[in-house]
Structure 1
Amino acid sequence: MCGRFTLTVGENYLKQQYNAKGEVDWLPSYNIAPTQGVLAVVHDGESNRLGKMSWGLIPSWAKDESMRSKMINARLETADEKPSFKRLMAKRRCLILADSFYEWKKEGKEKKPVRIYAPNNEYFAFAGLWDRWKSEKGDMISCTILTKQANQDIDSIHHRMPVILPREYEQEWINFEAKDPSEVKKWVHELSDIPLKHYEVSTYVNSPRNNDETCIERV
């Protein structure tokens, strides 16, 4: 799974990298937690757009927000079948931007936090799905991160990992045209993994209230 991550890269730089439109107020974040805002890129049929989404999917058909904390991740293996994700796999795909994520490695009775990052990239993109939920308070745009079986870089830490798209396939992922959900799943499964490294960090990161550079310091 993916339950906490970071994005410390500047908004203006990312807008340039993705040739994206949109104005957002984004500050570097060292401890992004579920239900918080994330920075994402979508394609609107004409151009890329950069903006904020709420992490934790609320499907458009949901009666209330109660399920969002349980919808931070979507399993790639079944996303083309589940009612909450199938339609989104076809057309509502997004890039959720990050520069590292955290997992907790179990050692005996302890769980030690580990920061996982891509040594060759300043930032990367999780494969995400998004939806628009209408309520009396207005529209809410929310998202979820696709996950898959961990590769050899991660499996000693956790058995699942987020789907991280190779840079050259990011644009294809958010292509506006509708696609068959099963074909999308097959395409993602065939992508190569980007190299990842990791190191242990302090339990300071355990609390979402802590959000500064201390979260990413090695111990």
Structure 2
Amino acid sequence: MCGRFVATTAPSDLALLFDAVLDDPFAEQFRANYNVAPTTQILTLVQTDDSANDRVLRRAHWGLLPSWSKDRKRAASMINARSETLTEKPSFRNLVARHRCVIPVDGYYEWRTVDVATGPKTPKRPYFISSPDGVALALAGLWTTWKDPERNGELVRSCAIITT
């Protein structure tokens, strides 16, 4: 499961790499982040029907907010979507056909339990997974939009990373 990742490649470089258009003022505010956490605004690559260039880099809230969600609380628990159950879970099954995206990352962290137990908590060690040549990785994802009732129905784009 992907719980933290690294995003250091500039949006303009991602646009070149993925042959995409930057479609978000958020890209201008980009800062390299070596510890991207859930509920952070991240860049996603989506396919659109309404653009001359079909691939567009857009901002999304990392943590899926289903359209039927009443508030943002659910998002923190929906950062990942298990590939084995995508078509079964109500939050994901309607998104699989038309709301797929790519989440570009420079690498991600996975935690592994250390063999030696010291006290009540079993220690874990982070491992960083990245491309050997340093090129951004393309993680599969799902996205949707949600109307924020606390902000007069403002549309919020959100996403989840598909894991195995």
Q: Is TM > 0.5 for Structure 1 vs Structure 2?
A: yes
Percentage of matched positions with identical amino acids: 41
Q: Could you tell me how far apart the structure 2 residues matched to 1:141 and 1:96 are?
A: 13
How far apart are the structure 1 equivalents of 2:148 and 2:130? 37
Distance 1:72 1:11 in 2: 22
Q: Which residue of 1 aligns with 2:141?
A: 128
Structure-2 separation of matches of 1:113 and 1:33: 14
1:1-219 equivalences under 5 Å are 1-21=1-21, 22-23=23-24, 24-25=27-28, 26-45=30-49, 46=51, 47-107=54-114, 108=116, 109-136=122-149, 137=151, 138-148=154-164
For residues 18 and 117 of structure 1, what CA distance do their matches in structure 2 show?
Answer: 17
> Residues of 2 paired with 1:15 and 1:122: CA distance?
13
Q: Residues 29-78 of structure 1: CA distance to partner in whole angstroms, max 9, x if unpaired?
A: 11000000111110111421112111000001111112111100011001
Gaps spanning 5+ residues in structure 2: where?
Answer: 117-121
Q: Let me know the Cα RMSD of the aligned residues.
A: 1.2
**Once the 2 structures are TM-superposed, how far is the Cα of residue 133 of structure 1 from its aligned partner?**
0.3
Contact between 2:108 and 2:129, CA under 8 Å: does it hold in 1? yes
Runs of 4 or more, structure 1, over 6 Å off, are none
Query: TM-score when scaled to structure 1?
Result: 0.65
Q: Helix, strand or coil: the match of 2:72?
A: coil
1:74, 1:51 → 2: CA distance?
A: 20
Quick check: which one's strand share is greater? Answer: 2
In 2, the alpha carbon distance for the partners of 1:28 and 1:101 equals: 14
Amino acid at match of 2:124: K
Work out the CA distance in 2 between the residues paired with 1:34 and 1:18.
24
Listed one character per residue, the Cα deviations across residues 128-158 of structure 1 (whole Å, up to 9, x for unaligned) are: 000100023111111000110xxxxxxxxxx
Are the equivalent residues in 1 in contact too, given 2:105–2:137 (CA < 8 A)?
yes
Aligned length: 148
